[in-house]
Amino acid sequence: MGEEFYCTLKLVSGEEVFSLISVDEGDDEPIIILQNPVIMKSVTNQTGTFLKIKPWIETSSDDIYIIKLDKVITMTESKDSMIIELYKKYVSSDDDTIDVYKPSGQVGVSSEMGYLTSVKKAREILENLFKDSKES
């Protein structure tokens, strides 16, 4: 059994599947083992871009699938940390689909941005500025 890695597969059926995979080359014909394969689709509308994630096979409760290498047109290892984290979030959740919304042109506030000041200190600074401008 080969090393596991995150990968996007393009199948001969036309489907693009994202999964944690490993390649087993033990037999004559190599096989690919997919763990929790999903289909990711980017959807854009007036308000922004969405990334829709859903199971590859929606009517099955299995987590592991095996496909033969001759059913694959191409495969590429994914090192995109955002896509991998979304995949992990999907796999660990109980939802059937996850929609990720990214508004076009807008930046959300995150904890990494830090704070410039507290509300109390900002109020004091603004009051002092107002008082100074009245005295001048």
CATH number, domain containing residue 27: 2.30.30.100
Please indicate, yes or no, if residue 133 is contained in any of the structural domains.
Answer: no
At 2 the pLDDT is 73
**What is the rounded CA–CA span in Å between residue 94 and residue 72?**
29
Total structural domains in the chain?
A: 1
Is residue 29 predicted with pLDDT exceeding 70? Answer: yes
Name the residue among 70, 87, 71, 100 with its Cα closest to residue 20: 87
pLDDT at 103 (0 to 100)? 54
For residue 97, the model assigns a pLDDT of 55
Phi-psi region at 2: left, alpha or beta (left = phi > 0; alpha = psi -120 to 50): beta
123 in any annotated domain: no
Does 78 fall in a domain? Answer: yes
Overall average pLDDT of the 79-96 stretch: 82
Higher-confidence position of 109 and 45: 45
Instruction: Specify if 119 maps to a domain.
Output: no
Residue 122, in any domain of the structure: no
The answer to whether residue 20 scores a pLDDT higher than 90 is: yes
Nearest Cα to Cα of residue 16 among 43, 39, 48: 39
pLDDT at 13: 92
Q: For position 42, what pLDDT does the model report?
A: 85
* pLDDT tens, position by position, 101-113: 555 566 666 666 6
Distance separating alpha carbons of residues 5 and 45, to the nearest angstrom:
32
**In-domain check, residue 132:** no
pTM to 2 decimals?
Answer: 0.65
Is 117 a member of any domain? no
Q: Round the average pLDDT of the chain to a whole number and report it.
A: 83
Give the pLDDT confidence score for residue 1 in this predicted structure: 63
Which residue range is the domain that position 73 belongs to?
5-106
Residue 24 lies inside a defined structural domain of this protein: yes
Q: How confident is the model at residue 14 (pLDDT cuts 50, 70, 90)?
A: very high
Q: Region 6-35: what's the mean pLDDT?
A: 90
